[in-house]
Copies of this chain bind each other. A is one copy, B any other.
Amino acid sequence: MKIETRQEEIIRVAAKLFKEKGYSAVTMRDLAKAMGIKAASLYNHIKSKQDILKTIIISLAEEFTEGMLQIQASNENCIGKLNRIIELHVKISNQNIYGMASLNNDWMHLEEKLEYYQQLRDDYENDFRKILETGIASGEIINIKPEVMMFSILTTLRSLYLWIPKKEDINLDELSHSLSQILIKGINK
């Protein structure tokens, strides 16, 4: 277990506060209080409030991009790839519950990195859509509008951060499996 730097601690605590109230409603004074120091002291470790948000969101977005690249490169079939996507979301969401809230709800408050984030998200969705379309073309999944399918699956996966913390004894493999049944059996011929 790597020792957490003070900067990492600030980012971790900030993400927790951002999940509860959203980026805009959390003040540097709130964050300092949660850290047990004064607001001015935060600036010895971080550049700005915006920089905290950027770090939280971009690292997560890049993790998803990386995961999607590996899934694309695999030679599984369409359903196999969808299962890998489910596992990817379960894994990342469980590792960073608080950060996922910012990724989902506070991305619009990014400043310089906004366009970069949007590009990553658009690419991710396009890759996802392509997997569904391939599955439809090959007859592997039913022929319902891929947009509606993607919307349904992706919004469920994107909301995992809200739901995982409520389960006391979470078994990640079991959760992935249940989600797979519910999300995929419905579109599997």
Chain A residues at the B interface, C-beta cutoff of 8 Å: 20-25, 105-106, 108-109, 142, 144-145, 147-149, 151-152, 155-156, 158-159, 162-163, 167, 175, 178-179, 181-187
- A182, B187: Cβ atoms closer than 8 Å: yes
Tell me which residues across on chain B come within 8 A of A158, comparing CB atoms: 159
Tell me which residues across on chain B come within 8 A of A185, comparing CB atoms: 186
- B148, A178: Cβ atoms closer than 8 Å: yes
- B178, A145: Cβ atoms closer than 8 Å: yes
Tell me which residues across on chain B come within 8 A of A175, comparing CB atoms: 148
Tell me which residues across on chain B come within 8 A of A106, comparing CB atoms: 22
- B151, A156: Cβ atoms closer than 8 Å: yes
Closest B-chain residue to A151, C-beta based?
A: B163
Name the one of B23, B105, B162, B186 contacting A187, with C-beta atoms under 8 angstroms. B186
Name the one of B24, B156, B186 contacting A25, with C-beta atoms under 8 angstroms. B24
Closest B-chain residue to A159, C-beta based?
A: B155
- A20, B155: Cβ atoms closer than 8 Å: no
CB of A149, distance to nearest CB on chain B (Å): 6
